[in-house]
Amino acid sequence: MKKKSAIIMISITILTSLAGCRLTNIDDVYSMSERGNEKATIATSVNGESKWHDDALYYTMPSDKEVPPILNMGDTINIYNQELKCRIDEAYVTDDFKDVYKYEDDESIEQLSTYLDTYEKNVYIDEEANICKSPKGIDRDMIIFRLNVTNTGEKAEPFLATGLYYYDIKYDDNNNLQYNIINDTDYRPFLVKPDGWVEHKFDKVTINAGESKDIVLLCFIEKYKVTRYKSHYSADEHKTIYDDVETDGLMLDNDIYIGTNYTVNHKTGRKEIYDEDELLKLDFTYSDKLK
Dump strand ranges (E) for 50-104: 51-54, 59-60, 70-71, 76-78, 84-94
Is residue 49, in this structure, part of any structural domain at all?
A: no
Is residue 237, in this structure, part of any structural domain at all?
A: no
269 Cβ contact list (under 8 Å, min separation 6): none
Among 281, 279, 283, residue whose Cα is nearest residue 69: 279
Is residue 28, in this structure, part of any structural domain at all?
A: no
Following DSSP, what letter does each residue of 69-84 receive, concatenated?
Answer: PEE-BTBEEEPTTSSE
Quote the number of domains for the chain. 1
Is residue 220, in this structure, part of any structural domain at all?
A: yes
Question: How far is CA 162 from each of CA 2, 37, 183, 280, rounded to the nearest angstrom?
Answer: 31, 22, 11, 16
Least confident piece of the model among 21-30, 195-204, 208-217, 263-272: 21-30
Rg of the chain (C-alpha set): 20
CB-based burial label for 15 (10 Å; 0-12, 13-18, 19+): exposed
Contact 167/180 with Cβ under 8 angstroms? yes
Q: What is the pLDDT of residues 61-97, one digit of tens each?
A: 999 999 999 999 999 999 987 899 999 999 999 999 9
Which H/E stretch holds residue 110? helix 106-119
Q: Which residue has the higher pLDDT, 266 or 22?
A: 266
State residue 200's pLDDT score.
Answer: 84
Is residue 204, in this structure, part of any structural domain at all?
A: yes
Please give the DSSP secondary-structure letter assigned to residue 144: E
Question: How far is CA 194 from each of CA 7, 189, 214, 217, rounded to the nearest angstrom?
Answer: 36, 12, 12, 10
* pLDDT surpasses 60 at 3: no
Q: Which residues pair with 85 in a beta bridge?
A: 78, 150
Q: What is the domain extent for residue 189?
A: 54-103+118-226+249-290
Looking at the chain, the whole-number percentage of residues with pLDDT higher than 70 is 82
14 Cβ contact list (under 8 Å, min separation 6): 36, 37, 38
What's the gap between Cα 255 and its chain centre?
17
d(CA 81, CA 98): 35
Is residue 185, in this structure, part of any structural domain at all?
A: yes
Least confident piece of the model among 21-25, 55-59, 181-185, 232-236: 21-25
Q: What is the pLDDT of residues 103-140, one digit of tens each?
A: 999 999 999 999 999 999 999 999 999 999 999 999 99
Confidence of residue 184 (pLDDT cuts 50, 70, 90): low
In our burial notation (b when 16+ CB lie closer than 10 A, e otherwise), range 41-60 reads eebeebeeeeeeeebbeeee
Contact 141/124 with Cβ under 8 angstroms? no
Residue 205's CATH number = 2.60.40.1240
Is residue 38, in this structure, part of any structural domain at all?
A: no
CA diameter of the chain: 60
Q: Listing from the earlier edge strand, what are the strands of the sheet with 239-250?
A: 51-54, 224-234, 239-250
Is residue 151, in this structure, part of any structural domain at all?
A: yes
Q: Could you give phi then psi for residue 183, rounded to 5 degrees?
A: -70, 150
